[in-house]
Amino acid sequence: MAATSIVLTELNRKSTCWVKVENKTFSEYQSPPRSFDDELKNKNNGLIYLEINGDLAGYVIYSCSSSHSAIITGLAVKENYRRQGHGDALLKAAIEKCKSKRMHRVLLYVDPLRTPATNLYKKLGFEIDTLLKSFYSSDQDAYRMYLDLNEV
Ligand SMILES: CC(C)(COP(=O)(O)OP(=O)(O)OC[C@H]1O[C@@H](n2cnc3c(N)ncnc32)[C@H](O)[C@@H]1OP(=O)(O)O)[C@@H](O)C(=O)NCCC(=O)NCCS
């Protein structure tokens, strides 16, 4: 049986972005990027994607600000590849990038009903800062979570 190929790749503004995110691939995700190229138009953004045997299986998007604070703006793993450690690997890769860019803190927002994501963030040391009522919509709240990088 052929070995599974698992590759994490970082895109940057100079990359030739050939990968398009299909809406159906990440349909349950709140706001999938239309294309990775669009995300990378902002020079503060970074994007790491995961390929498994050539299939786009997941991605994480982060944005670093000049105030030493970064934010994770997107994270998703395709359904059939979940619960195999890929979300963990993607998030850790983004955290390492933020550290290398001298960020002091990583922030993110997550719907408290997204138990897999919330558990993943807690597992990697993120703490809940506050609950923001009606953040996404009138009946959809968000946790703001943070990870202090000098404590990791
Ligand atoms: C959140 C998500 C990226 C996790 O990806 P994944 O590859 O399945 O995660 P991993 O296999 O690396 O799991 C890492 C940890 O996440 C948590 N987790 C993952 N799936 C879980 C589930 N179904 N139920 C409870 N906890 C879960 C666990 O803490 C797990 O650690 P463990 O295996 O030691 O228990 C994936 O479920 C996803 O794409 N969800 C939809 C998109 C989304 O909600 N994005 C976040 C928006 S803020």
We report the CATH number of the domain holding residue 41 as 3.40.630.30
- Report yes or no on 127 lying in a domain: yes
Q: Is residue 1 part of a domain?
A: no
Percent of the chain at pLDDT exceeding 70: 79
123 touches ligand 1 (CB under 6 Å): yes
Check: CB of residue 9 under 8 Å from CB of residue 48. Answer: yes
- Quick check: CB of 136 below 6 Å from ligand 1? no
Cβ of 79 closer than 6 Å to ligand 1, yes or no, is no
Which residue CA neighbors atom 37 of ligand 1 most closely? 116
Does residue 41 form part of some domain?
Answer: yes
Judge whether residue 151 has pLDDT over 60: yes
Tally of domains in the chain: 1
Pocket test for ligand 1, best of 120, 124, 136 (most atoms within 8 A of CB): 120
Q: Is residue 72 one of the residues assigned to a domain? A: yes
Q: Which segments of 29-112 does DSSP mark as H helices, in order?
A: 36-39, 86-100
Q: Please report the pLDDT score of residue 22 as a whole number.
A: 47
- Tell me, yes or no, whether 90 lies in a domain: yes
Cβ atoms of 51 and 19 closer than 8 Å: no
Give the residue, out of 72, 88, 132, with the most ligand 1 atoms within 8 A of its beta carbon, to mutate for a pocket test.
88
**Residue 115 is assigned to a structural domain of this protein:** yes
Q: Does a structural domain hold residue 67?
A: yes
pLDDT value for 65: 86
Mean of per-residue pLDDT scores for the chain: 85
In terms of residue numbers, what domain contains 52? 6-151
32 part of a folded domain: yes
Kindly report, residue by residue over 33-92, the tens digit of the pLDDT. Answer: 556 666 677 778 888 989 999 888 888 989 998 889 999 998 999 889 999 999 999 999
* pTM (predicted TM-score): 0.90
> What's the burial of 150, exposed, middle or buried (CB within 10 Å: 0-12/13-18/19+)?
exposed
Distance from Cα 34 to the centre of ligand 1, integer Å: 22
Per-residue pLDDT, 133: 97
